[in-house]
Structure 1
């Protein structure tokens, strides 16, 4: 008796469906790992307490501080969370998980897509927690449900693009710690060198320029507009432009790096 390997389903729809199955596989361990789930919930609490109460406590009116800081914290926790994508990929490769995927009749991009979709689903928990904690400290959404959905969608799009960059770093890095170091070195200047937490007014000229071109500044400004009113449409379009550019750059790089690592 002879056995034949099932034919590989091809096409974008097949790759997406296979990625969704692998994403679910990556999320199942959360049920047996309460510590990881608690981490998703505690991080936004800690960040909001630090930035709203410690850093923002002496900078002006409490309501203004909360209205400015909470969207910035939402941006930061979302983007920093993308580091986990590369770390998880580096760990899975080191443990031989992707060697098993290589023997399956699935699209080559499916394991990458699955890992990223799983991390985005976990990130959604962090985003919702951030909004709930923000409400507890006095942040109020004035634009209605559509504004909230638009803000969540926008930050998830940017996180998706950066997750592909994180995936690429995780695939080319020699170790998990080196991947984490490289990703942190990129994201910290983007988040702290933006107007996510402080306006550019009064900053040195070179820093004003950097904050003006920094995509995180436009993302934070767009979230403030979507959640609190006064939206500048240009911020949304600039964020979409950066998202498209990052996806165009990192998706092929990540797929190519993955192909080299598992062949």
Structure 2
């Protein structure tokens, strides 16, 4: 085993601070990424996570198929006389319900990364601070689109025929994805606020179930008690379901579209700053 003597240490060439700086900074520092570039990068990261863990697509494939089949044949005969008639009313609503329900997994993903310590590294990067959160939501927008396509495919097989044609279907899905993107800011807040992913999922279900089931997804609200109609008719999910149903049915429900976009803007304005405040202080 060799040792280094005092003579050997003295023979080493001294390293000045200037030469060390030249070695570490051999060329110009790359420019700081823009807000859009950073957000798209984190969005791509979210997509890569799906690539390496394909089980994450279970909730946007198997779950929507199960929902369409179950509610069509469970309620179709009793509410509309036949599943074929009922699916014309049900499919846009169940599409809204399923996509809104899977938005809660955004908060679960955020909470999981916090537990792993990934966010500690993100906060040290010279990037636009909200880009990490926006990236999560951009990646999840792909999942919402996949779920919509899967449900529409199953609905077409079961007899659903959108009178609005391709344009109406695309417009309905686009409105749904925009609303879900904004709605997901609620779950990013919970993902930062709560300690475990189980807590995030539990609180999310407590919020989502009343909003989705107390709406016009399954039935016309006019058959409900007056006090319940007041809640249902002003629910953001009711406005969204009516807008998507109208667009896919060939109508132009301007008021419902405006309400849906208004709710989406409200979610971003309220929960976006709260999320970033928690993120900066976490």
Bin of the TM-score, shorter chain as denominator length: over 0.9
Question: 1:8, CA displacement in angstroms?
Answer: 7.0
Q: Which residue of 1 aligns with 2:137?
A: 116
Question: 1:229, CA displacement in angstroms?
Answer: 2.5
Question: 1:6, CA displacement in angstroms?
Answer: 5.0
Q: Secondary structure at the match of 1:59?
A: helix
Segments of 5+ residues of structure 1 without an aligned counterpart are none
> Does residue 37 of the first structure (1) align with residue 57 of the second (2)?
yes
Q: Which residue of 2 aligns with 1:197?
A: 218
> Does residue 74 of the first structure (1) align with residue 74 of the second (2)?
no
CA displacement, residues 176-225 of structure 1 (integer Å, 9 cap, x when unaligned): 11111111111111100001111112211111111111111111111111
1:260 and 1:172 map into 2 onto residues whose CA distance is 11
CA displacement, residues 85-135 of structure 1 (integer Å, 9 cap, x when unaligned): 100000000001111212222111111111111111112111111111111
Is residue 8–residue 107 contact of structure 1 (8 Å, CA) maintained in 2? no
Aligned with residue 47 of structure 2, among 27, 49, 63: 27
Normalising by structure 2, report the TM-score: 0.87
CA displacement, residues 30-73 of structure 1 (integer Å, 9 cap, x when unaligned): 22323222442111100101111113332123333101111111
2:100 and 2:271 map into 1 onto residues whose CA distance is 16
Bigger Rg, which one = 2
CA displacement, residues 216-242 of structure 1 (integer Å, 9 cap, x when unaligned): 111111111111133432111111111
Is residue 164–residue 254 contact of structure 1 (8 Å, CA) maintained in 2? yes
Q: Which residue of 2 aligns with 1:143?
A: 164
Larger displacement relative to structure 2 (211-220 or 26-35): 26-35
**Structure 1 residues 1-263: aligned runs within 5 Å:** 1-2=20-21, 3=24, 6=29, 9=32, 14-62=34-82, 63-261=84-282
Is residue 8–residue 106 contact of structure 1 (8 Å, CA) maintained in 2? no
1:53 and 1:249 map into 2 onto residues whose CA distance is 39
CA displacement, residues 130-176 of structure 1 (integer Å, 9 cap, x when unaligned): 11111111111111222112101110111011111110111111211
Is residue 82–residue 163 contact of structure 1 (8 Å, CA) maintained in 2? yes
Size of the aligned set, in residue pairs, is 258
2:120 and 2:231 map into 1 onto residues whose CA distance is 42
Segments of 5+ residues of structure 2 without an aligned counterpart are 1-19
